Structure 1
């Protein structure tokens, strides 16, 4: 007969030393955890979720429906009870019969890819009951009818966030992958995970921001952002980089590219194989790129008008002086494209023809449909942001990053958190995720002007956006333009971009929809032969009809854009080296502003 003592593992000196060492680590890490949480800077609670009015409205509408149609409520309840009992009975049967494979595999969901979710009765019951609960919540939300459409959309979004947050994979006791790893590593994975958690909290002043990539694997200017060039101008808001020519001759009209100041510009220059910046120089163009300052409290009063005057207009004037030309071709990406359209309206009203053509990458100008951002663009959230930036002077990068991440919470929050904090894994050495985590603070005044005047009021399309003594309007955008949008873009939906382009005053418009999303659809080099694109010259139809009649083209849109740009770039001249006697090099590309972290 086997005794209890026989089944116990032998505790050798080595085991005891390892245990003691691990406990010391846990104690030290716990102390650091308490310290960082105690020192966490408080922020407006409105940034963490909608106000209680939304849920009160939902509860009232739900109860009203229940009183008016009790049979419907009972039907839902009985269905939920029935599924719950069946889940339990199935688990009991599997345990009693010793046949864990009897049940059918669950629906495909990469969170539940471990075979134990189907073969182990305990984990299968947990999964099935979670999915039953999730379905019941979604069904209850869908049954709420007596609510405004925006409130209903927000209710659906935030209820889904609760469903995703409560996934059993997010808890150690109900995550077989994490439990197996802990057993295999004698608990080392949990200690490493705690180290990762504490490090992330310390790096973000107590805010939970999951590190997505191994920061130590990348050096800006070392193994990413390496296209050669020089900073030829600098002010408090931006650095202007002129890239070295890659051909003996270049087109006379230079290109100036304005990236979004929500992120760093080097998304367009991650590595040589997918660098749009490098590719443009190889096609024979003189290219300038603006690198924006990472805002701090001293930038609190910088507004949209300052970005136009100190950024766009100043950069354009410097490029004209350096290249000795009267016009430039301008490119704006995301919010920088939105601001480029404001700049074009201003120049039109001033009678200034400095911009020969405009290219817009994933640019929203008509905010009538707020799309997936609807939950975050209502007054309770924007009021909270306004309150917070009033204290900080800036809209901090973690707020913007967290908001973006919640649109894809399983991929950008919970999945990485599980791998880092439960599994103890080092984040991957992935350049795109490294860039994604290298965010930027936004000046407080600019953030509120953008949120209130453009996103909420849609002034640029409606009565005009008042700025710099002018009332700017979308119809004033009348230069030849090309708009590149992305089919699965969840930040700037292509249909919303299309509506804006339709309202622009230009007689020459080219509209393109690239396959993939906000980043991959733009960073899509021809050499990859990965994502195709759609074109249709008829911009009078609505978006659905435009796509229905569009022609599909294999491969990247980059060559299409270059052929369009070539017609608007003048004659060939000897290649220009960066700067001139009045614009000597201040430092090599990628410059100094791009190195400043949001937490610095």
Structure 2
């Protein structure tokens, strides 16, 4: 038996191990040296707290100390919980099966390994962490006297700390990692260290966590493959027209305005989940704006540039290509915010160029922006503007980090465990490839957007913002609207997006999809997943809307198609891209979308 065990156990070649460790040491020294050189050349390094976290926690601590009785009560409760946990641990050692003092949330995948339940030690570690996390978050939430923004900031960054300190993130307290370490004789940690160094090298000293196999995907090859042509371009957009798949199409073309925070192909990942392909198959002549990935040369492009050179330029180009003055339009997230501005702009100009408008997860009232509001205050905006002034843009990776922090366990720590502790390569996943394909933000546009909309909430004020000489007033919008929000959206909370139902003058249908900002939108009918809610009434309170809503199984896509057909016009012969007054420039998905940050 001993001989068989020895034969099955993989041994480590000392020479290979020495070679690997030497390589790791050399790479580590080079990365650290490069990082320190860059920081030494930055006079602001180490001199500031750009997120203003320190002041928020100092204010929280001062308020907390002013009510010592509440602190004592919280500590006593924690002590009592720990005493019960100690007693339960002893009872388990004696063979009993007491009820746990605390359980992880059913959706918490960190503790899915069976050892967290079956082993007394790991069960104790798990419950100790959960008790401490609950105590810490409860204490900061109960502090009285903090303004709302500071309270939210303290709560957010406390959760970041709590998530970071989870026992699953450390070798010695993660049973799955320990098991892998024993089985591979530590090769998982060696591979994980190499993965860590790869990510540091790719991030040039900053940790750029690899979330998927980047070599498994190529834009235009196995994602964003719906056939079509680029029929127009300027320095801000390429306009894609897709090849019809039906003999007849609706008279009015369909224009999709995606966000420029991310790339448009979230709506064209694979044929099986491509909204663009599905819309083409329903008989729409689909046009999509593909935004440029801006560099310092476009630093002065403002929000009105995205209006003039984006949506308005696209409308003009579509009219030339098809002869149609009116389109049905879709705006997604920030693209929807721009679409709302475009509708108000056209209303002021008394131009009826959009027959119907559809909004995906779109904010127009930023009074309650969700967790993104944590990053919006004068100190942080000033620091961000100073940073953008140096480069002319906001690096897309900074924006990606912000979004990842909002779901840290799923988008940060799960990969730390998988890539660095277990030493595994990330799984090929088209959605995570898209998520990592970051875009920059021009300095002028991004500053305007954050200040005028997030910080000052001026879009909701009639005439509060001015674009290309026109004061924007959402209440003048009479265009029929289909508004889709998602129930678990952490970027555009549905209870906030719902406000648009009260701020436009035309008919509006509000639909709420299950799941989140992406999965709730990219949900093809064939998948048979999730559900959505509808309600013919639109009370002021979103919770009242949901209370009276009807749940419908499956995808909202078919509901939208039935709605948009009312405005799409008669059926005509299918249009071939490039056959009109606008000739084809290149094949879809075009060159702008292929500009990937290195």
Q: Please give the TM-score of this superposition, normalised by the length of structure 2.
A: 0.92
Distance in 1 between residues matched to 2:50 and 2:414, nearest whole Å: 20
CA contact (8 A) 1:44 1:387 kept: no
Map Cα deviations across residues 466-514 of structure 1 (whole Å, 9 max, x no partner). Answer: 22112212112221111111111111112211112321121x2111111
Moved more, 120-129 or 486-495: 120-129
Query: Which piece of structure 1 moves more, 291-300 or 108-117?
Result: 108-117
Matched-pair contact (CA < 8 Å) for 1:101–1:118: no
Which residue is 2:496 aligned to? 496
The DSSP-based 3-state class of the residue aligned with 1:322 is helix
CA distance in 1, matches of 2:103, 2:197: 35
Q: Does 1:481 align with 2:477?
A: no
Partner of 1:228: 227
Q: Which residue matches 2:526?
A: 527
1:413 maps to 412
Over 3 Å counting, the alpha-carbon distance change for 1:402 and 1:14 in structure 2 is closer
Q: Which segment is superposed worse, 353-362 or 27-36? A: 27-36
CA contact (8 A) 1:25 1:191 kept: no
Compute the displacement of 1:290 (Å): 0.7
| Alignment partner, residue 26 of structure 2 | 28
| Residue matched to 2:157 | 158
Q: With structure 1 as the length reference, what TM-score do the two structures score?
A: 0.91
Q: 2:20 and 2:478 mapped to 1: Cα distance? A: 67
In the aligned structure 1, how far is the partner of 2:24 from the partner of 2:596? 30
Match of 2:465 in 1: 465
Change in 2 beyond 3 A, CA 1:563/1:110: closer
Indicate the residue corresponding to 2:559 in structure 1: 560
**Residue 361 (structure 1) shift:** 0.9
Looking at structure 2, the residues matched to 184 and 38 of structure 1 have their Cα atoms a distance apart, in angstroms, of 37
Q: Distance in 1 between matches of 2:542 and 2:239?
A: 37
1:90 Cα offset (Å): 6.3
Gap regions ≥5 residues in structure 2: 1-5
Corresponding residue number in structure 2 for 1:128: 127
> How far did residue 40 of structure 1 move?
5.2
Match of 1:305 in 2: 304
* Residue matched to 2:35: 37
Match of 2:15 in 1: 17
The worse-fitting range, judged by mean Cα deviation, of 31-40 and 541-550 is 31-40
Matches of 1:58 and 1:104 in 2, distance apart?
Answer: 35
What does residue 107 of structure 1 align with?
103
What are the within-5 Å matches in structure 2 for residues 49-448 of structure 1? 49-66=51-68, 70=69, 72-84=70-82, 87=85, 107-108=103-104, 109-448=108-447
Q: Which moved more, 1:46-55 or 1:586-595?
A: 46-55
SS at match of 1:207: coil
Task: Give the CA deviation at 1:20.
Answer: 2.3
Q: Is the contact made by 2:103 and 2:130 (CA closer than 8 Å) also made in structure 1?
A: no
| Aligned-partner Cα distance in 1 for 2:77–2:551 | 46
Specify the SS of the correspondent of 2:229. Answer: strand
Distance 1:26 1:191 in 2: 9
Per-residue displacement from partner, 1:337-364 (whole Å, max 9, x unpaired)?
0011111111111122222211111111
Q: 8 Å contact 1:230–1:591 — kept in the other structure?
A: yes
Contact 1:258 1:333 in 2 (8 A): yes
Query: Residues 296-327 of structure 1: CA distance to partner in whole angstroms, max 9, x if unpaired?
Result: 11111111000000111111100011101121
Q: What SS does the corresponding residue of 2:15 show, helix, strand or coil? A: helix
Q: How far off is 1:409 after superposition?
A: 0.7
> How does 1:444-455 map onto structure 2 within 5 Å?
444-455=443-454
Quick one: distance in 1 between partners of 2:175 and 2:34?
Answer: 30
SS of 1:485's partner is strand
Measured after TM superposition, the shift of residue 27 of structure 1 is 2.3
Q: Which moved more, 1:497-506 or 1:199-208?
A: 199-208
SS at match of 1:325: coil
Whole-angstrom CA distance in 2 between matches of 1:544 and 1:130 = 34
Structure 2 CA distance for aligned equivalents of residues 208 and 111 of structure 1: 22
Native 8 Å contact 1:397 1:441 kept in 2: yes
* C-alpha contact 1:486 1:516 (8 A) present in aligned 2: yes
Provide the rounded CA distance (Å) in 1 between the counterparts of 2:11 and 2:283: 70
Q: 1:143 to 1:545 in 2, by over 3 A?
A: closer
**In the alignment, is the contact (CA less than 8 A) between 2:260 and 2:335 conserved in 1?**
yes
TM superposition shift of 1:104: 5.1
Cα pair 1:327 1:354 within 8 Å, conserved: yes
SS in 2 for 1:512: strand
Q: CA deviation at 1:102?
A: 6.0
Change in CA separation of 1:40 and 1:125 when aligned onto 2, cut-off 3 Å: farther
**Displacement after TM superposition at 1:528 (Å):** 1.3
Aligned-pair Cα RMSD in Å: 2.5
Cα offset, 1:47, TM superposition: 7.7
Change (3 A) 1:424 1:306: same
- Cα offsets for 1:343-394 (capped at 9, x unmatched): 1111111122222211111111011112222211222322221121111211
Distance 2:365 2:273 in 1: 30
8 Å Cα contact 2:363-2:496 kept in structure 1? yes
Task: State the Cα distance separating 1:117 from its structure 2 match.
Answer: 3.2
Shift of 1:144: 1.0
Alpha-carbon distance in structure 2 between the residues aligned to 1:535 and 1:114: 39
Deviations 1:578-597 (A, max 9, x none): 02464222111111111111
Structure 1: which 5+ residue stretches go unaligned?
1-7
